[in-house]
Chain A
Amino acid sequence: MGYKVQNVSFNQANGTTTLRNISLSIETGECIAIIGPSGSGKTTLLNVLSTALKPATGSIEYNGNNPWLIPKSALKKIRAAIGTVHQSPPIPSQQRVITAILAGRLGQWSLLKSVISLIYPLDLLGPHACLQRLQLEDRLFERCDRLSGGQLQRVGVARVLYQAPQLLLADEPVSAMDPVLSDVVIGQLIEETTSRDATLIASLHAVDIALRWFPRIVGIKNGEIAFDLPSTEVNETMLKELYASEMGNLPMQAAIAA
């Protein structure tokens, strides 16, 4: 059981190669952090894992199935079991928080239930509970354009918590949050993953969060994997080499120069 990425490459529309020959093997139940400098390919890798992007070469496998070779209905089922937390949550600004969270289960609900929930939300307790875990329950019926950046990011996380997927992908989920809140949110993501034996892959910009919370760290630079190690084996030299282009300081949540 698990996820495999084999020799995957991806090219952008303008020709630049964002991923080169990436190979990863992920067991169910793992919590992995992906770190690397800006533009190294973290987001692209997560998009390939979520089946939003098709790899140019190589293949990905979910429990032995290649999602790009199966019929559409099977792919839809696989996608309903993958949840993505985006760095900048793709939520229409006029939408209310409750509807934005309910949208997480659209892959699992019938058409009738989805249409009714648009006008009259059928499940209020579920989204409320998800927001409560992220300390945002008082904003359940607020419009999304009235929220701050960090609050909107938490709504995106709440949506994935509500979806309860088997594979959680998080693309810089705490980039707009203060250190205390980041800890709460990452803690919730990890608790959600471990309680259901799901898998979590998170790309993070702050190295200290990655080292503190995640047992396995994958470093990416220029679209290639620089290292793939347990967090205890990651040392300062490796990190400095990874972020060599970021002017000598390691990006930390606590903003203290390394």
Chain B
Amino acid sequence: MSGNSYISDPARNHRLGFIVVALVVLWPMLELAQFKPWLLLRPENIEVLGNFLIQFFPPNIDIDFLKIVLHATIETLAIATAGTTLAILIAVPLGLIISHSLSISRIGPGSNYLLSKFIRLVARFLMLFLRGIPEIVWALLLVRVFGLGPTAGVLAIGITYGGMLSKVYSEILESANTLPARALLVSGSGRLTAFLYGLLPGTAQELASYTVYRWECAIRASVVAGFVGAGGLGQLMDQSMKMLNGGEASTILVVFFILVLLADYVSLLIRKQLG
């Protein structure tokens, strides 16, 4: 028997075509974005980078400043957590509505098939609208309504992240093994209980880990919100950068690093608990 000369993979041409198209699209994009990372390795550029980075050392560990940083950290954590909680409250119902896998109308009589399709469409548009507008734009908008302070930041994060979380939740739910949930629907269960008993057990880890990751992103986003006066580490960082105080800025960056590590650890704990 000599190799595969008389058998051919039917997906071969399709996949090859896809790779070619991807390359053809990618190449001009790299050109357009002036993707030249090798320039970083030129000696004169390394010197410029070095001079810039030197300004960040040593980090400012003055006790008064550290007190301010601690207060700002707690503020940032509060903004991020409140924003993420609001996002979860928006995303859970939205994600469930959008998810096809719990569609009773697909395995039931067609009476309000069109109605549920319409509701799903509206929910989809809402989701797009919420996450399509960048946080900074929402923050600037909301600052005009609520004034400077954390409220604008929390709402901006809550709204955009609500849209993002609902999209990912619905996609995780749709790509999960839907047989348990469908079996429950066929035994007369409602959609919500079919989700809780059939879909949630298998998807809990992924849903939780993406939510914790979004919380970590919210911490970084609160920096952006801080630039519009929403308080926290962002505002502090903004002030330090404007005063060209590299030492203070690097302290704040170290705090960020620690917060990201913390988020990593929390995610690990939660996944262990759910697994």
Partner-B contacts on A (CB < 8 A): 50-52, 54, 67-72, 75-84, 86, 90-95, 99, 103-104, 106-109, 111, 114-115, 118, 163
Is B2 among interface residues, defined by CB-CB distance under 8 A? no
Residues of B within 8 A of A82 (CB): 186-188
Question: CA separation between A79 and B109, bound complex, in Å?
Answer: 13
Q: Which residue of B lies closest to A91 (CB)?
A: B180
How many A-B pairs have beta carbons closer than 8 Å: the answer is 90
Partner of B186, one of A84, A92, A111: A84
- A104/B187 contact (C-beta < 8 A), A69-B109, A90-B179, A92-B180 known: yes
Residues 165-219 of B contacting A (Cβ, < 8 Å): 177, 179-180, 182-190, 192-194, 196-199, 201-202, 204
Task: Please determine whether A99 and B189 come into contact, CB atoms closer than 8 angstroms.
Answer: no
Residues of B within 8 A of A83 (CB): 187
Per-position 1/0 for B263-275, Cβ under 8 A of A: 0000000000011
Task: Please determine whether B180 and A90 come into contact, CB atoms closer than 8 angstroms.
Answer: yes
Nearest chain B CB to A141 CB, angstrom units: 15
Is B111 among interface residues, defined by CB-CB distance under 8 A? yes
Task: Please determine whether B187 and A68 come into contact, CB atoms closer than 8 angstroms.
Answer: no
Task: Please determine whether A111 and B192 come into contact, CB atoms closer than 8 angstroms.
Answer: yes
Question: CA separation between A135 and B198, bound complex, in Å?
Answer: 25
Partner of A111, one of B109, B190, B201: B190
Task: Please determine whether B197 and A118 come into contact, CB atoms closer than 8 angstroms.
Answer: yes
Per-position 1/0 for B110-143, Cβ under 8 A of A: 0110000000000000000000000000000000
Is B86 among interface residues, defined by CB-CB distance under 8 A? no
B190, B194, B197, most chain A CB atoms within 10 A: B197
What are 13 A-B pairs with beta-carbon distances under 8 A? Answer: A69-B109, A70-B109, A75-B109, A76-B190, A79-B188, A90-B180, A92-B177, A92-B199, A93-B201, A99-B197, A103-B189, A103-B197, A106-B187
The 4 closest A-B pairs by CB, nearest first: A107-B188, A80-B188, A92-B201, A79-B188
Number of interface residues of B (CB under 8 A): 30
Residues of B within 8 A of A108 (CB): 188
Residues of B within 8 A of A80 (CB): 187-188
Question: CA separation between A54 and B192, bound complex, in Å?
Answer: 23
Is B58 among interface residues, defined by CB-CB distance under 8 A? no
Partner-A contacts on B (CB < 8 A): 104, 107-109, 111-112, 177, 179-180, 182-190, 192-194, 196-199, 201-202, 204, 274-275
Question: CA separation between A77 and B275, bound complex, in Å?
Answer: 34
- A76/B202 contact (C-beta < 8 A), A52-B182, A86-B183 known: no
Nearest chain B CB to A67 CB, angstrom units: 8
Residues of A within 8 A of B111 (CB): 71-72
Partner of B196, one of A69, A91, A114, A163: A114
Given contacts A76-B188, A109-B193, 19 further A-B contacts (CB under 8 A): A67-B109, A72-B104, A75-B109, A77-B188, A79-B186, A79-B187, A82-B186, A82-B188, A84-B186, A90-B183, A92-B201, A94-B201, A103-B189, A103-B197, A106-B188, A107-B188, A111-B193, A115-B193, A118-B196
Task: Please determine whether A50 and B186 come into contact, CB atoms closer than 8 angstroms.
Answer: yes
Residues of A within 8 A of B274 (CB): 94
Task: Please determine whether A92 and B198 come into contact, CB atoms closer than 8 angstroms.
Answer: yes
Nearest chain B CB to A104 CB, angstrom units: 7
Residues of B within 8 A of A81 (CB): 188
A70, A91, A106, most chain B CB atoms within 10 A: A106
Residues of B within 8 A of A72 (CB): 104, 108-109, 111-112
Residues of A within 8 A of B112 (CB): 72
Residues of A within 8 A of B194 (CB): 106
- A114/B188 contact (C-beta < 8 A), A68-B109, A75-B109, A94-B202 known: no
- A52/B107 contact (C-beta < 8 A), A90-B183, A103-B197 known: yes
Question: CA separation between A88 and B42, bound complex, in Å?
Answer: 62
Task: Please determine whether B201 and A95 come into contact, CB atoms closer than 8 angstroms.
Answer: yes
Question: CA separation between A111 and B190, bound complex, in Å?
Answer: 8
- A71/B109 contact (C-beta < 8 A), A106-B197, A115-B196 known: yes
Q: Which residue of A lies closest to B205 (CB)?
A: A94
Nearest chain A CB to B123 CB, angstrom units: 20
